[in-house]
Each structure stands twice: as structure tokens, then as C-alpha cells.
Amino acid sequence: MVFPGRPQVDIATLLGLVIGVTVVMLAFLTGLELSIFLNLQGFLIVCGGTFAATLIKFPISGVFVAFFVGGAKFASGVEPTLKRIASILRATRGQILVSGHTDNSPISTARFRSNWDLSSARAVSVVHFLITRAAVSPSRITALGVADSRPLVKNDTPENQSRNRRVEISIEITSFQG
């Protein structure tokens, strides 16, 4: 049904957000570690966590990339995914840590001295987007660059390197807003 003057949300978006918020709430209320895989705008992400925190990782598939190799600019399709993740973030209270990750390919450019600079820039790109384009409060967010020090998988294939180029958003949940 279409309501004039009201924003329209497709059922897939609504369902993805409901599932994501439900996982976060269940983890918060039960204290259990829960995980769910969501496909948002073609990006496979994982939501999971425990009573203390919930972690959102994207992308977790080597097929989709969040950032181009050697850069902190979003690949196509990332912004709609971040907007959906931001909806989940705005429904919670607590501190948000955005961690940028790289693969193990060394970098040394005019802009990035090392993977530490690159991973920090990736985290800051997400933070800026969440604050300026998705209305997440800046007082809740911290950016962290970890370079290639915390890989998900070995950096032994191009697909695995792609999986390690990611962003993780950790939410320390203290409560939910209506």
C-alpha cells in the first residue's frame, strides 16, 4: 500500500532491518552469542554478538568489496548498505567502534604511508558517512585502524585478501530506543 507524502520502504529492506535489530535485541536480552547473515543491497554482512556488544562485519564475501584495493573510497553499492546498518545503530544506545582492516599487501603512497594509514582512513570514511549522511550521533562513534593485524582468513589468495579488506562496526549496547 502506498501512502502519499510518506517515505516508501521495500519489504526486503524492512525485513532485513527487522531481522538485524531482532538479532541485536536477542543477544542483548539473552546474553547468548548469536550470529546471522544478511544480504543487504548485495553485500553479505554478519550480525552477531553477546550481551556486552554486537559486531557487524561487511563485506564477508570475497565477491563483494567495500573498498577498492589501496583506497578508502567506497566501492559501488556500499552506501545503501551503510544506510541500512545506520538504521540499526540509531535504534541502539551505546558506543560504536568502527574498525578498518586491510589485506597484507604493503602500501606506500603519497596519501597512505602504510596499511595503518589506509585502515584508519577506511574507518574514518565510514564514520563520516554515518555522521553526515545517516544521522548517527558523533558523540557515540570512534574510528580505529588495525591494518592487517587481525585478518579473518589467511591472505594467501586474492579472494581471501578481498575478505580481509573490510570494516567492522562494534556496538556496546546499553539499551534500545522505542
What is the distance between the alpha carbons of residues 24 and 22, in angstroms, rounded to a whole number? 5
Average pLDDT score over residue span 6-19? 46
pLDDT in tens, 13-50: 444 545 555 544 444 444 444 444 444 444 444 455 54
Cβ atoms of 27 and 170 within 8 Å: the answer is no
Do residues 97 and 142 lie in contact, with contact meaning Cβ atoms separated by under 8 Å?
Answer: yes
- Residue 126 is predicted with a pLDDT of 93
pLDDT at 169: 86
Domains and CATH numbers, the chain: 11-176 (3.30.1330.60)
Query: Which amino acid type is present at position 156?
Result: D
And the C-alpha cell for 97? 567502534
Average pLDDT over residues 152-174: 85
Minimum mean pLDDT among 3-17, 65-79, 84-98, 153-167: which range? 3-17
Q: What is the pLDDT of residue 87?
A: 83
pLDDT > 70? residue 178: no
More confident residue, 60 or 67: 67
Question: What one-character-per-residue DSSP string does 67-79 give?
Answer: B-TT--SBPTTHH
pLDDT digit string, tens, across residues 84-141: 888 878 887 788 999 999 999 999 999 999 999 999 999 999 999 999 998 999 999 9
